[in-house]
């Protein structure tokens, strides 16, 4: 991911790689040789882009929060109390967010779960602070908001369903380094 400077380009490239992986798996299961037909390239569609974004986020979370994910998988959806979870995740950066796993991704927990809002707004996906995914998201939303500033960029990130750890300082540092904003 360090090769890419754009969230959209990174998602598109990962989506193409996932499509290629799927074709190789299909070829392996069918045990047929590749045909010499020339097939036209079809652009990546929206669902493939969403899956690619999910894969990138899961990879970043797995690299940073592997121990926490294993603990939460062991706990399972049986609804154990937060106190038991606190003992297991004692030194975790995620403890204050009351994390839970859904579809293999860490999400922010909390009391707002009964609200009638979209899942991404109520329980945003947790993004590790030092990951390339966080940098790509900050750059994407800073450009999307038209270089409006740190607070606008951070609220757009959170409204889109992402929770970057230490997000305020990360976004402020990005805005400070932004050449367009400096000018």
Alpha carbon 70 to its chain's center: 18
What is the rounded average pLDDT of the residues 164-174?
94
State yes or no: pLDDT of 135 exceeds 90. yes
Q: Return d(Cα 37, Cα 18) in angstroms, integer.
A: 21
Per-residue pLDDT tens over the stretch 23-73: 888 888 876 666 666 677 788 899 999 999 999 999 999 999 888 888 887
What is the rounded average pLDDT of the residues 143-171?
94
Whole-prediction pTM: 0.84
Closest by CA position to 152, among listed 161, 143, 162: 143
What is the rounded average pLDDT of the residues 93-119?
81
């Amino acid at each position: 991911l360090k090769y890419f400077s754009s969230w959209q380009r990174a998602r598109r490239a990962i989506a193409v790689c996932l499509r290629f992986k799927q074709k190789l798996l299909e070829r392996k299961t069918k045990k047929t040789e590749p045909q010499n037909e020339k097939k036209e390239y079809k652009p990546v569609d929206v669902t493939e882009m969403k899956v690619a974004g999910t894969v990138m986020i899961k990879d970043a979370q797995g690299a940073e929060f592997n121990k926490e994910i294993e603990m939460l998988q062991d706990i399972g959806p049986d609804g154990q109390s937060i106190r038991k979870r606190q003992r297991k995740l004692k030194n975790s950066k995620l403890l204050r967010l009351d994390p839970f796993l859904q579809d293999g991704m860490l999400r922010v927990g909390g009391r707002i779960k009964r609200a009638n809002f979209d899942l991404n707004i109520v329980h945003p996906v947790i993004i590790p602070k030092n990951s390339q995914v966080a940098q790509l998201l900050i750059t994407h939303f800073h450009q999307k908001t038209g270089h409006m500033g740190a607070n606008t960029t951070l609220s757009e990130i959170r409204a889109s369903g992402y929770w970057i750890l230490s997000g305020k300082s990360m976004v402020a540092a990005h805005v400070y380094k932004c050449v367009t904003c400096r000018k």
